[in-house]
Amino acid sequence: MAVIEGETGAQRSIGYVLDVGQGDGSARCHLDVSEAHANRHGVLHGGIVSMMLDNAMGATGSLTVDETGRAPFLTVSMTTSFVGPADIGKRVTATGRVTGGGRSLLFIEGRLEDADGRLVATATGVFKRVPRERMATGGDA
């Protein structure tokens, strides 16, 4: 299993783990939900739900061109539908799946489920591959 941990500031702050090593072309983003992730209703905050789906879908796009899941893809658009709550103390997993696209744009869908298999949210998005020569190196990208 190939996992990416602590690579970005957001990943270190929130504590999610990105799994890009299942060999099925889908990346997974795992999080053990704690009080630090909760909204005022005591369940996983919707912003974190969207972030997890975005990461799983973007890394899924990356897996189409890079087996390490690190080739950069930018989110062009993303729509999230919130279906149910994710409770504190549960692990949630977002999974991406490519549904179409071409050389530079991919259409990807995502699902976020809790450890009991309950659907928390779904998302669809358009992701753009960042050409190697345009990768950010501290200047304008």
DSSP code string of 15-60: --EEE--SSSS--EEEEE--GGGB-TTSBB-HHHHHHHHHHHHHHH
Evaluate whether 44 touches 51 at the Cβ level (below 8 Å).
Answer: no
Mean residue pLDDT of the chain comes to 93
pTM beyond 0.85: the answer is: yes
What is the pLDDT averaged over residues 3-31? 95
Q: Over 50: is that where the pLDDT of 26 sits?
A: yes
**pLDDT tens-digit readout, 116-127:** 999 999 999 999
User: What pLDDT score was predicted for residue 129?
Assistant: 92
Q: Six-digit token pair at 4?
A: 């990416």
Q: Which of 95, 104, 115 is nearest to 24 (CA)?
A: 95
Q: How confident is the model at residue 1 (pLDDT cuts 50, 70, 90)?
A: low
**What percent of the chain stands above pLDDT 70?**
92
User: What pLDDT score was predicted for residue 140?
Assistant: 43
Q: Which of 85, 76, 96, 91 is nearest to 121 (CA)?
A: 85
User: What pLDDT score was predicted for residue 141?
Assistant: 37
Who contacts 68 (Cβ-Cβ below 8 Å, separation ≥6)? 2, 20
Q: Determine how many CB atoms are found less than 10 A away from the CB of residue 72.
A: 18
Pick among 3.30.1600.10, 3.10.129.10, 3.40.830.10, 1.20.1250.20: CATH of 3-134: 3.10.129.10
Q: Over 80: is that where the pLDDT of 71 sits?
A: yes
